[in-house]
Chains A and B, each alone.
Chain A
């Protein structure tokens, strides 16, 4: 995935300016930076969720396997099936059971293959490290699960659709430390089959979990977010090229 000269607006206010970033396939890329610098906005531009907000606009290109997802004839719905998203607060569908939640992405996009549903549910739940905990109660309402389990259910729901990229917007910030650990282990496993982009407030998490890291900051003059530096995680944290990156990762500001 390749982000090229991306600019994002909320109405007339520029939120992200001229962002360029390469996301390597099969790796976990973390986006870090201080609050309000546009990390979540950038993430939402990667699956065309930013434009869902009224009066929000995007300029520039985002290439997925060479195709621009913002091309004039590109269907946002199809883009979102290839680029899935997990949100900060777990948001399983409350009126559906656990298994219906997992298959909701498939059923609601009209691709019903009822014979395979049970197998799909099991695979998705196994791949999200949730199968053992819920295999006896697949028909229970999704809201009966704990926060960490609900978040893993949302991950299962996202991967059941078989996306190529999974975007995660601070997926652990609403979870307790044990649940956070489980989700981080899960991310490490998911890396084998998916490309993952994760926005996180927690620098240590980025250091633990990601292969590459991108650092964003707000430009003081026009109050827009910008990409400062990106590279392999080890380098960003030990030998960053930009002084601002160094200041951030060493905690001089945050």
Chain B
């Protein structure tokens, strides 16, 4: 009555296993290296901008904001112009973008919706100068003068696909159970969308808006033909007007006195850089607080 023979025990640490561990570590290390390489440009740019712009912006704050470039124009007016443009582009891009996004999410599962989505995707890749030319022909040539409205229109055109896509994505994420709850109460479809679905999706929509704004805040090309730039600040809706990106462009391209133009230009660059980073971080913070909130 001998006990049945136990199968031969296999060793736990075999050669093959050791080889797998080494390969795993090598590949992981390589991927980490690639990721670091991808970060390098961002840090390079960031450090360069800080290095050049800090002494100007912070060192000569706040006088740098009102110092007149020999080229003409000052940062404060330029920043004011950029803010006006952002406001205008929001007036153009947001209503269309949000409503299109909501339409696509709620009613867009058909051929027409696919067409709209396709158009939005194409427009998302629109070169910014093309948007500028479109605004030029549609507005500037019609009213015969440069105007911030044309700039706002061009930027709105660039902003709207981003807002549409993110709005559609966020509204789709709202669970169907909420739509059913609304309808089952005898609430009409449109009212359910306006009073239940959109408020539920609103922080996601805002995130999309902020990202859209961050995209257009620094655009230069579409502004060249539309607002032209103005060395006297914002003077009216039917006049050329300044913008931060244009001011920077002008100071570096055609400086009359580099010793003054350049520092102002770098300060402007830093200012714009900070603006875009703040907008992006703000969007992320909003998204994080939304997904962390009790649901």
Contact = CB atoms under 8 A, between A and B. Distances in A.
Interface of A: 47, 49, 52, 54, 77-82, 84-85, 87, 89, 91-95, 104-105, 108-109, 141, 143-144, 154, 157-158, 161
A71 to B, nearest CB: 17
A95 B181 CA distance: 14
Contacts of A47: 184
B109 to A, nearest CB: 7
B254 interface: no
A87 B184 contact: yes
Contacts, number: 76
A77 B187 contact: yes
A84 B178 CA distance: 15
Contacts of A154: 181
B295 A94 contact: yes
Contacts of A77: 186-188
Interface of B: 109, 175, 177-178, 180-188, 191-192, 195-196, 199-200, 202, 294-295
Contacts of B177: 87, 89, 91
State the main secondary structure of chain B at its contact with A: helix
A49 B109 CA distance: 19
A87 B180 contact: yes
Given A81-B185, A104-B185, A105-B187, 4 more contacts: A52-B180, A91-B175, A104-B187, A104-B195
Contacts of A93: 178, 181-182, 196, 200
A82 B184 CA distance: 10
A108 B183 contact: no
Contacts of B200: 93-95
Nearest to A93: B196
Contacts of B196: 93, 95, 104, 108
Contacts of A91: 175, 177-178, 180-181
28 contacts: A49-B180, A49-B184, A52-B180, A77-B188, A78-B186, A80-B185, A87-B180, A92-B181, A93-B181, A93-B182, A93-B196, A94-B178, A95-B202, A104-B185, A108-B182, A108-B185, A108-B187, A108-B192, A108-B196, A109-B185, A109-B186, A109-B188, A144-B294, A154-B181, A157-B181, A158-B184, A158-B185, A161-B185
A33 B227 CA distance: 70
B185 A105 contact: yes
A247 to B, nearest CB: 33
B122 to A, nearest CB: 27
Contacts of B182: 93, 108
B187 to A, nearest CB: 4
A92 B196 CA distance: 10
Closest 3 CB pairs of A and B: A81-B186, A105-B185, A85-B184
A141 B294 contact: yes
A87 B179 CA distance: 12
B190 to A, nearest CB: 11
A249 B185 CA distance: 34
B247 to A, nearest CB: 42
Contact of A84 (B109, B185, B195, B199): B185
